[in-house]
Amino acid sequence: MNIGYIGLGSMGGALAKRLQLQHPLRVHDQSEAAVQRLVDRGATRCASSSELAGHCDIIFLCLPTSDHVRAVIFGEEGIAGAAKPGTLIVDQTTGDPTATRAMAAELSALGLALIDAPVSGGPQGADAGTIAIMVGAAPAQYDRIQPILHAISPNVFQAGDVGTGHVAKLVNNLVAGGQRLLSLEAIALAAKNGIAPRTAVDILMAGSGRNFFVERFMNSHIISGKLASGFTLGLLHKDVRLACQLGEDSGVTMLFGNMVKEFHQMTINEMGRDAQVNSVALMMDRLAGTQVVPADHDLKLPRPDRGV
What is the per-residue pLDDT across 98-155, written as a single tens digit (0 to 9) for each? 999 999 999 999 999 999 999 999 888 999 999 999 999 999 999 999 999 999 999 9
Q: What is the pLDDT of residue 38?
A: 98
Task: Give the three-state DSSP class for 174.
Answer: helix
Per-residue model confidence as pLDDT tens digits over 143-157: 999 999 999 999 999
CATH 1.10.1040.10 residue ranges of the chain are 167-288
CA distance 81 to 61: 16
Residue 169 is a catalytic residue:
yes
pLDDT-derived band at 231 (thresholds 50, 70, 90) equals: confident
pLDDT score at 303: 45
Please state, in angstroms and rounded to a whole number, the distance separating the CA atoms of residues 143 and 121.
23
CA dist., res. 268 & res. 96, Å (int): 21
d(CA 251, CA 245): 10
CB 246 within 8 A of CB 232: no
Give the integer Cα–Cα distance in Å for 244 and 302: 28
What confidence tier does 306 reach under pLDDT thresholds 50, 70, 90? very low
Secondary structure of residue 39 in the 3-state scheme = helix
CATH 3.40.50.720-classified regions of the chain: 3-161
Per-residue pLDDT at 301 exceeds 90? no
CA gap 153, 3 in Å, rounded: 17
Mean pLDDT, rounded, for 272-291? 96
Split at pLDDT 50, 70, 90, the class of 299 is confident
Residue type, 259: M
Q: How far is CA 213 from CA 47, 183, 249, 278, in A?
A: 40, 7, 29, 11
Q: Are 49 and 61 in contact (CB under 8 A)?
A: no
DSSP assignment string, 253-307: --HHHHHHHHHHHHHHHHH-TTSBGGGHHHHHHHHHT--SS-TT-SS-PPPP---
Q: What is the pLDDT of residues 232-244, one digit of tens each?
A: 999 999 999 999 9
Average pLDDT over residues 69-96: 97
Q: What long-range pairs does 17-21 form, CB within 8 A, spacing at least 24?
A: 17/41, 17/126, 17/127, 18/126, 18/127, 18/129, 18/151, 18/152, 18/153, 19/60, 19/148, 19/151, 19/152, 21/151
From 17, 84, 169, 261, active-site residue: 169
Which pLDDT value is given to residue 175? 98
Partnered with residue 276 across adjacent β-strands are 232
Using CA atoms, how far apart are residues 17 and 177, in angstroms rounded to an integer? 27
The CATH homologous superfamily of the domain defined by 3-161: NAD(P)-binding Rossmann-like Domain (3.40.50.720)
Vertex 72, ends 70 and 75: CA angle to 5°? Answer: 80
What confidence score (pLDDT) does residue 230 get?
A: 80
Q: How does residue 32 score in pLDDT terms, banded at 50, 70 and 90? A: very high
Q: What is the structure's pLDDT at 13?
A: 97
- Superfamily per CATH, domain 167-288: N-(1-d-carboxylethyl)-l-norvaline Dehydrogenase; domain 2 (1.10.1040.10)
